Structure 1
Amino acid sequence: MDSAAVLDIAMASLIIAAKLAAPLLITALVVGFTISLFQSITQIQEVTLSFVPKAIAVCAALFISGQWMISELISFTEQLFATIPMLIGNA
């Protein structure tokens, strides 16, 4: 296995990690920004006001996009297993 193959696998792993984390992180970002804006307008400084809606929204996003995330992860894993013979053949 040469360094180019290792770099390709590492790059693909980082891309799949970013794709899988994006729906949850974007949801948390949007809900957090909305709650912060609401708190700054009303000057309510309650910690649970920002945490509870964000946790509920992230759980909903996970429920909605969970099937897609699992299928992406399975296809990536199958692709990695399919490249094993090629990687061993280059050694």
Structure 2
Amino acid sequence: MLTPDIAVDLVNDSLYVVVTLVVLLILPGLIVGVLVSLVQAATQINEQTLSFLPRLLVTLATIALAGHWMAGLLMDFCVETFRRAATLVG
């Protein structure tokens, strides 16, 4: 039976997984975006592709480097969720 404690644990674990994956994907692009915007402000170059392309490349590199770990984290979360569901049924 699904008790409030179990529901809170499930929501807590799912939020942990979501926040971890989002931070891993967004933070490098954010840092590169700030650095590029500083360079653009210093040189007064306002080109949209100059700010978009480095963020895209850093995000793709992050996915390439950490994709295996991210997929493993999601798979572990899914397996644990199904294990919990099996114990709740009986």
TM norm. shorter chain > 0.5? yes
Q: Which residue of 2 aligns with 1:86?
A: 87
1:64-79 equivalences under 5 Å are 64-79=65-80
Output the CA distance in 2 between the equivalents of 1:56 and 1:23: 14
Larger RCO: Structure 1 or Structure 2 (Cα < 8 Å, ≥ 6 residues apart)? 1
CA displacement 1:12-60 (0-9 Å, x = unmatched): 1010011112221111111101101100111111111101111111011
Q: Which residue of 2 aligns with 1:61?
A: 62
User: Is there any run of 5+ residues in structure 2 with no aligned partner, and where?
Assistant: none
1:4-43 equivalences under 5 Å are 4-43=5-44
The number of equivalent residue pairs is 89
The answer to whether the aligner puts 1:2 opposite 2:23 as a matched pair is: no
Q: Stretches of 4+ moved more than 4 A in 1?
A: none
Output the CA distance in 1 between the equivalents of 2:69 and 2:43: 38
Amino acid at match of 2:89: I
- The percentage of counterpart residues that share the same residue type is 33
Q: Which residue of 2 aligns with 1:50?
A: 51
What TM-score does the superposition give when structure 1 sets the normalisation length?
0.90
Amino acid at match of 1:60: A
User: Is there any run of 5+ residues in structure 1 with no aligned partner, and where?
Assistant: none
